[in-house]
Structure 1
Amino acid sequence: MLALMLIGAHWLCDYPLQGQFLSDAKAKGPLRVYHLIAHAGIQGAAVAVVTANVWLGLAELVAHTIIDELKVRGRTTFAQDQALHIVCKALWLTIMLGLLSTHALAKQEQAKPERPVPTAERQIPVAPKCRPPVRINFWVMDGNGELKLVGSRLIEGFCEGDIHG
């Protein structure tokens, strides 16, 4: 499911959310680099929302900027550009699966019974620090300059020691 969401988010951000204006502006014009980074930022935000991992979102922003710059400079074809983007999504998926399996192993270790400790020696556990859930809305500006809500994502809260903490 995560793989489908990463690919779907890529297609959504690379086609309808990019639009002709951004596609042209990131290739030429006085603010070319700004538009390139803006497009890559949209892609990075999508990865961060899908994976609930800001570091993967930042990695996507950097990778997407480099890959699209290579295409703009004529060093890759459109097909190579898209293949490199898909390879990045596969890498993010691999990292997420690794994080999830590490998290599952850590939980198994926590579930193992500890040796009995006399009550006088047992420490009182400290309550974990928790962050509340956050809703992220995605807006796009239409041709008339009006903002339209195109989607949202609820990122669940987490406590210190969780996979994302």
Structure 2
Amino acid sequence: MFNGFAESAVSGGTLGGFLLLAFALLIGHALADYPLQGAFLATGKNRNGDPSDFFGGTSVPKRLWLHALTAHSLIHAGFVWVITGSAALALAEFILHWIIDLIRCDERISYNIDQLFHCLCKLAYAALLASGMRMPF
């Protein structure tokens, strides 16, 4: 199921359609990863971080990182869903974004590799849609 933008972008399977959809997905990524993440989610999603400043010196809720990382990943999934109209791609984005950021927060990959993986996901979604592949939901 596509939304109108994605349907018009990928109809005909052209390179231009792929590029337009990829551009829209990358814009969504930039919005979700920078202004919409904010300091609270950026700090809170890291299970190795110290978000105590956000709680005025009181104790931090247990497993805050799970909530913050999940919320951040849902924001990304929402952009993918709105842009593509595909709940399947939104679910893939949620899972992949959650895993990539968890690995990044554990310092097993660098910031640049983290961003590369996120951008490659967006390019893969655009390629799948531009190829004419229909998502199950």
TM-score by length of 2: 0.71
Instruction: Report which of the two structures shows the higher radius of gyration computed on alpha carbons.
Output: 1
Match of 2:104 among 57, 71, 75: 71
Matched, 1:7 2:26: yes
* Residues 80, 89 of structure 2: 8 Å contact kept: yes
Aligned 1:1-165 pairs, distance under 5 A: 1-28=20-47, 30=62, 31-99=64-132
List per-residue Cα deviations over 1:112-165 (Å, max 9, x = no partner): xxxxxxxxxxxxxxxxxxxxxxxxxxxxxxxxxxxxxxxxxxxxxxxxxxx887
In structure 2, relative to structure 1, the CA distance for the partners of 1:51 and 1:92 (3 Å cut) is: same
| 4+ residue runs over 2 A deviation | none
- The residue identity in structure 2 corresponding to 1:8 is I
- The residue identity in structure 2 corresponding to 1:16 is P
RMSD of the alignment, in Å? 1.7
Q: Whole-Å Cα distance in 1 between the matches of residues 96 and 43 of structure 2?
A: 20
Q: 1:21 is paired with a residue of what secondary structure?
A: helix
Shift of 1:20: 0.5
- The residue identity in structure 2 corresponding to 1:72 is C
TM-score by length of 1: 0.59
Shift of 1:33: 1.1
- The residue identity in structure 2 corresponding to 1:83 is L
Q: 2:109 is paired with a residue of what secondary structure?
A: coil
Structure that is richer in helix per residue: 2
Identity of aligned residues (%): 35
Residue segments in structure 1 that go unaligned for 5+ positions in a row: 104-162
Q: Whole-Å Cα distance in 2 between the matches of residues 9 and 25 of structure 1?
A: 21
Shift of 1:38: 0.8
Q: Whole-Å Cα distance in 1 between the matches of residues 95 and 88 of structure 2?
A: 11
Shift of 1:98: 1.9
Shift of 1:3: 1.1
Q: 1:74 is paired with a residue of what secondary structure?
A: coil
For these two proteins, the number of residue pairs brought into alignment is: 104
Shift of 1:35: 0.8
